[in-house]
Amino acid sequence: MARAVLRFVEHRITRHPDADVTFEAECLRCDWQATPSPDGAAVDLECMSHTGRSGHNGFRRICTSFALVTRVGDDGDLSSLNEGVCPSSGVDEGSQRE
């Protein structure tokens, strides 16, 4: 009977260094949308301008970013995450016994 050895590794999540944050907004009363931008203040100004023109004061604000998960102590290279793992079963090959 094969046994699995469980191993707990500490990870951290950070913003992906090669991707920007994108800010967006849309009016809750009509179909108006702000132009997506990496500058949140620019999107906020568009919302305030829309309020001045329409009287609509409710907006859904969206902030999109991409994340990168790495093992604590690694240099950020994720290729080592699959070392020693059997691709078909996900079981650590070092823990399989005959």
**For every one of its 98 residues, what pLDDT tens digit does the chain have, with 9 covering 90 and above?**
788 888 889 999 999 999 999 999 999 999 999 999 999 999 999 999 999 999 999 999 999 999 999 998 766 555 444 443 333 333 333 333 33
Q: Is residue 58 part of a domain?
A: yes
Residue type present at position 3: R
Between the alpha carbon of residue 32 and those of residues 21, 36, 57, the distances in Å are: 21, 12, 12
Q: Is residue 66 part of a domain?
A: yes
Q: Is residue 32 part of a domain?
A: yes
Place of tokens 């305030």: 48
What span, in angstroms and rounded, lies between the C-alpha atoms of 13 and 59? 29
Range of the domain at 23: 19-73
Q: Is residue 9 part of a domain?
A: no
Q: Is residue 61 part of a domain?
A: yes
